[in-house]
Structure 1
């Protein structure tokens, strides 16, 4: 019987979160996450955005890495998707149908406005208490380029993703399907095609 891949995120404080990924629900989101994790794109990166009661957003700058500057087709268009609720992980985007290839987030509450919009591609199987601890970190507001109503709260004392390790149980996930011809956000470390 095929096992779902498992991601293990280790933070700079030594805490660990384990996530079961669901390629049957969000195949391209899972492939993209695994692809970037295996290239070390997420390693040694500070958490950029915390909105208590809403989301814990790892990055909105494509992890300051040109390797993560791409969009993928939105898996939710298949009609098969998970609810965005605490204990899940999803990929964010910049307006349907464009989904950022690597910018992942954790819902901190039930988020019906996100459900069916952004692909939820896994569930936390160990370490939800770390997500709740991160939610309580002291933050300061940061302006979001061109969007004054978007809340960006960055931790006063940075917490880093030290490493993301992936166990695929022998399955190869390759590279994600990318979309072309989409203008990238101005604050990504890349240029538009």
Structure 2
């Protein structure tokens, strides 16, 4: 009888372990500090689990930009209520140096553009972080967006790089833009500081 109980316990334990490994927002990803990005907004910190398993080249580039301090003070230049908040224009979006309200959203970084790493297994749901690009699928560079709501039309068309683990209610508070002007934000909110959890504060 004891053996049967032990066997049942082991089966349950194995199931829980497998679930944690394959959940896109489960503890296996959240516990990986090297691939956890923390974005400080005006109302607090947003924690994002990066997905190098889906997009290794994009995640590596994001982490380099984070560690170079390139994302600090960069504006959320395009924010559409019920859709997404876009940021990451390192060239024109830094609100403390060189911010250009006319050009923001058209720039990237000094790093090269990236080849597409589209996923067929993951969907653009609330909290998912995707890379912005031009019409060229291989043009993503530094800009990314956070989804307010699902957008199935983006599935398989844009590279998914992560998902918000905590602080989504803070993302919801980001200043919205003018929908008639493609979400352009006047006097936008910004990413005050961005860091990788493994690097500490």
- Asked if these proteins are the same fold (TM beyond 0.5), I'd say yes
Q: Which has the higher helix share?
A: 2
Q: State which structure, 1 or 2, has the greater radius of gyration over its C-alpha atoms.
A: 2
Deviation string 1:27-83 (CA, Å, 9 cap, x unpaired) is 111111111111111111221011111111115x5542763463101111xx55521
**Distance in 1 between residues matched to 2:146 and 2:69, nearest whole Å:** 20
Mapped contact 2:128–2:147 kept (Cα < 8 A): yes
> Counterpart in 2 of 1:36?
65
Shift of 1:157: 4.0
Q: CA 1:63–1:109 in 2, change beyond 3 Å: closer, same or farther?
A: farther
Residues 74, 97 of structure 1: 8 Å contact kept = yes
Greater strand percent: which structure?
1
Compute the TM-score of the two structures, normalised by the length of structure 1. Answer: 0.70
Q: Which has the higher contact order (CA 8 A, sep 6+)?
A: 1
Match of 1:179 in 2: none
Q: Deviations over 1:92-151 (max 9, x none)?
A: 1112422321110011221111111111111111101011122xx3534686xxxxxxx1
Contact 2:80–2:178 at 8 Å: present in 1 too? no
Distance in 2 separating the partners of 1:166 and 1:54:
26
C-alpha contact 1:63 1:103 (8 A) present in aligned 2:
no
1:34-73 equivalent positions in 2, closer than 5 A = 34-59=63-88, 61-64=89-92, 67-68=109-110, 70-73=112-115
Structure 1 residue 164 and structure 2 residue 194: aligned? yes
SS at match of 1:105: strand
| 2:22 corresponds to | none
**3-state DSSP class of the match of 2:153?**
coil
Distance 1:95 1:127 in 2: 31
Tell me the TM-score normalised to structure 2 length: 0.68
* Residue ranges of structure 2 left out of the alignment (5+ in a row): 1-27, 93-106
| Structure 1 vs Structure 2 CA RMSD | 2.6
Structure 1 unaligned blocks of 5 or more: 144-150, 170-193
